[in-house]
Structures are given as structure tokens and as C-alpha cells.
Amino acid sequence: MKSNVFRAGLIFSLIVLLFSSNAPAQEEIFKEKTGRFVDLYNKKDFDGLTGLFHFPKENTEAERKADKEAIRKTLAMYFDEFGKITGFEKRENPPFYYFVTIAGADIAYWQKHPEGDKITYQVKFARQGDGYLELVFSYILREWEIRQVNFGLPADGPRSEKKISAIFQKWQKLMAQ
């Protein structure tokens, strides 16, 4: 009986150690992928950025191509609205902010795969000033990929809600073309 308790305790300790030791490695992966996202975004390499997003493997080539084109067009529009990103600093519990988002796949797909980890940065947007960049990562195809990216402005900022609303409306028109 004592050996079973000891074995169970040992296994539990190893599991805790395994998960706790992966956290720093996972955070480094997120930091590297965020840096890559910001670098490509600031270079206006929107085609390169699409390669960082997750796309369902069951999608046809035509569906993947359409998703990538929508992401490319959206990121180009966001660049026009927000400008370059500088000075990003990780924020554990950011205050409330209004945001627009971009993601690969559709809502029905993500409802089947709700798991994901996010990291939020306080940033400076060249055209909008202080803001937030939040990246949500998925681990579906045995690799951390971007699930979605949120571009946000502080809720207490002057006209933040109206600015985000205007950007969203502009995006709707762009997608309707």
C-alpha cells in the first residue's frame, strides 16, 4: 500500500514538474512568434504573416487561399489604420480595451477547438498611439500557431470606442468587396 502511495506521489510530482518546466519554454515560443509577427507586420510583409496563422487542415486549397487573402487584406488595412508597432511590453492583466481582431478559420471551427493560450502586450501604434496587441495561439497541428490577433485601444482613451468602431466598419466594407 505504501509503495502505491509513493508511486502515485512520484508520478504526480513528475507531471507537475513536466508542466511547470514547459511554461517558460512555451512563453519563449510565444515571444519569438510575437516578435516575428511584429517584424513582418512592420515590414508590411502581409503574405509572410499569413504563414503564421493556423488554418484547418480539412479546408480545401481554395478555402485556404481565400482565408489567406482575407487575412492579408485585413492586415494591410490595419497597418493603414494603426501604423507600425513599437515598444511592446507584456501585460499580465491589461485594463479593458476596445479591439478589432483577425483570425484564420471561422467561428464554427474555433468552437470545436476552444483551447488556446494568449499573450497581451502594451504597444505604441504609430497612427493611434498607446494600445494593445493580443495574440492567441493554438496547438492543434502539434505546433504553436496564431489563432487570432487583436489590435486594441484603451477604453479610457479619447474616442477609442469610436475609432475601433470606424475601423471595424471599414473592414466590413473591405470584406464585402
Please write the tens of the pLDDT for every residue from 43-74. 999 999 999 999 999 999 999 999 999 999 99
List the Cα angle 124/44/131 in 5-degree steps: 15
Tens of pLDDT, residues 116-141? 899 999 999 999 999 999 999 999 87
pLDDT tens, position by position, 2-41: 554 444 443 443 333 334 335 678 889 999 999 999 999 9
- Does residue 146 surpass a pLDDT of 90? yes
Give residue 86's pLDDT: 95
Q: Percent of the chain scored above 70 by pLDDT?
A: 87
Query: What mean pLDDT comes out for the span 155-171?
Result: 96
Q: In the predicted model, is pLDDT for residue 175 greater than 80?
A: yes
Distances (CA, A) of 37 to 67, 99, 142: 18, 18, 20
Yes or no: is domain 27-176 CATH 3.90.228?
no
The pLDDT assigned to 94 comes to 94
pTM of the model: 0.84
Angle at alpha carbon of residue 66, lines to 70 and 131, rounded to 5°: 20
Residue ranges of domains in the chain: 27-176
> What pLDDT was estimated at residue 149?
97
pLDDT tens digits, residue range 83-96? 999 988 999 999 99
**What is the DSSP-derived secondary structure letter of residue 93?**
S
**Residue type, position 111, single letter:** Q
Q: What is the pLDDT of residue 2?
A: 53
Q: In whole angstroms, what is the distance from residue 105 CA to residue 138 CA?
A: 12
